[in-house]
Amino acid sequence: MKTLTKKTTTQQPALERARRRAAALALGCIGLIGATAASAAPSPTIDAIVKRGELLCSGATVNSHGFQAVDARGVWSGLDVDICKALAISILGSEKKMKLVPVSFVQRFPALQGSQIDIIVKSTAWNLTRNTDLGFMFSTPYLFTGAAIMVYKSLGVTKGTDLDGATICTSAGTTLEKATADFFIKHNKKYKLLSFDSAIERDQAYLARRCDAIVNAVEQLSAVRTFSAPNAADHVILPDSLGKEVQAAVVRQGDDKFLNVVNWTIFALIEAEELGITAANVTAKKSDPDPRVQKLLGVLPGVGKKLGLRETWAYEVIKQLGNYGEIYSRNLGANSALKIDPRYNKPWFKGGVMYAPSFD
């Protein structure tokens, strides 16, 4: 018996080595095939999107005004929806070739892992755990915001630390739960958390005063106040910041080309705002002498070939949706019911942090 165990232990490394060598050889072969295939086939995700003629984007099960909301005619709109549309235009040429697969906040990550959707664009904050443990990659951020607290004015609360012992409503399984915990731990105050899977239940619980306060990104709090509350003036968003919420699109790891297309689609929206290109003037801008404008709009070739897309993809995106500033204004800003100040989401030269790399 003793010799037998000895034998197997000495045999194992040799076996293991042989197995590894075989595996490495196989991997090498696959790598070679992959390398030759790569130039023809851009990426597995883009291949699948082109084949089905449709981009599958994370939809919603309930309205989140300004981000993903449906109107009486059944048409979805919002910042998140527009980012999905922009991507559909980049890859397939039309905003109509985008399908919103309804998923709740809790379902969105398993849905992406299980390939039921190609991408998550759903008020999702970029953090370390999601980036590493969940096996995801985040795009360049398309919204910089922060979590905040909203209360009834009649509560007489002026700052977050006044809420010692209060009950807080928020969304289950989100970064907001952690931001809330961190805030109350930092200030050594007690609180009771009530987390809801459904956004409607969460908002209704707050409005019925089941909770003293509600925690969410500033834009979403504005939406609750504007669209769900009987009287918007009854509510006040407290000045405390409960941490940064950097919202970005989410894709599966291992498809760099797809991530590039997502990133540069967002950059194109930002670049267009910086260059003053709008949906209205984009066609006229094609004859603009500025080489930066010509590069972005595909007059000088490059933007298409480098990403494996049509040369005019950025032109088409701007033509159909407008630049980032227009998209923001229409969904969250001055031209929307929410009238939120873009703050950090202005271009860098206007005091914001929206900054795109060069399209050279």
Binding site for other proteins (CB under 8 A): 105-106, 109-110, 113, 129-130, 132-135, 163-167, 172-174, 177-178, 180-182, 185, 191-198, 201, 204-205, 208-210, 212, 252-254
Distance CA 191, CA 218 (A): 20
14 vs 208 by CB, closer to other proteins: 208
Smallest separation (angstroms) from other proteins to the CB of 239: 19
Q: How far is the CB of 293 from other proteins (least distance, A)?
A: 39
Q: Please say whether the beta carbons of 320 and 95 come within 8 A.
A: yes
- Closest CB 208 distance from other proteins, rounded Å: 5
194 closest CA partner among 177, 182, 207: 177
Of the pair 172, 237, the CB lying nearest other proteins is at 172
**Is the Cβ of residue 74 or residue 230 nearer to other proteins in the bound state?**
230
Half-sphere CA count of 112, side-chain side, radius 13 A: 25
CB-nearer residue toward other proteins: 85 or 130: 130
* CB 257, min distance to other proteins, A: 17
Question: Are the beta carbons of 218 and 345 closer than 8 angstroms?
Answer: no
Cβ-count burial 96-131 (b if 16+ within 10 Å, e if not): ebbebeebbbebbbebbeeeebbbbbbbbbbbeebe
Closer of 136 and 324 to other proteins (Cβ): 136
Around Cβ 181, how many Cβ atoms within 10 Å?
Answer: 14
- Closest approach, Cβ 81 to other proteins, in A, equals 23
* Alpha carbons 303 and 299: distance in angstroms, whole number: 10
CB 349 within 8 Å of CB 274 = yes
Distances (CA, A) of 250 to 82, 117, 155, 332: 15, 11, 38, 21
Q: How far is the CB of 107 from other proteins (least distance, A)?
A: 9
356 vs 318: CA distance, rounded Å: 15
Measured from the CB atom, is 201 or 288 closer to other proteins? 201
Q: Distance between CA 296 and CA 1 in Å, rounded?
A: 73
Of 179 and 293, nearer to other proteins (C-beta) is: 179
115: left (phi over 0), alpha (psi -120 to 50) or beta: left
Is residue 124 within 8 A of residue 64, CB to CB? The reply is: no
Task: Give the nearest distance from C-beta 22 to other proteins in angstroms.
Answer: 16
Q: How far is the CB of 222 from other proteins (least distance, A)?
A: 23
Cβ proximity to other proteins: between 50 and 205 the closer is 205
